[in-house]
Amino acid sequence: MSVSPSFRTFVLEQLGRTGVSLRGQSMFGGVGIYAGELFFALLADDTLYFKVDDSTRPDYEALGLGPFRPYGEGSEGMHYFRAPDDLLEDPDELRQWAEKAIDVARRARRQGSRRRSG
């Protein structure tokens, strides 16, 4: 699940060009990408994955994109799906996908807060 330094730099630069203020955090051989405190994307094996929920998952599935599977094929997928390969070359399109993933992370955080307080 390693991430090459050049890929990490490239993705963070491309995402930074979209106007999203973010930071990358090394974790378990990969990189978590945060907008403020919202964990909305990850890098693993030189692949970008965005956080999804029921409202955005169909966008990925329609393109044949699958979930991040930290334990290999056949293991349970996480709520992060592979971004389209050409997305990093189109700042406008990248911004839209990133903003949707940030919104998913925001909703998940609110739902988690309600569960803890309720």
> What is the pLDDT confidence band of residue 73, given thresholds at 50, 70 and 90?
confident
Q: What single-letter amino acid sits at 69? A: R
For the whole model, what pTM was predicted?
0.88
* pLDDT confidence of residue 71: 66
* pLDDT confidence of residue 19: 79
d(CA 78, CA 61): 14
* Residues 26-53 pLDDT 10s: 988 899 999 999 999 999 999 999 999 9
Domains of the chain with CATH codes: 5-117 (3.30.1460.30)
> What is the pLDDT confidence band of residue 107, given thresholds at 50, 70 and 90?
very high
Residue of 77, 13, 80, 5 whose CA lies nearest to 46: 5
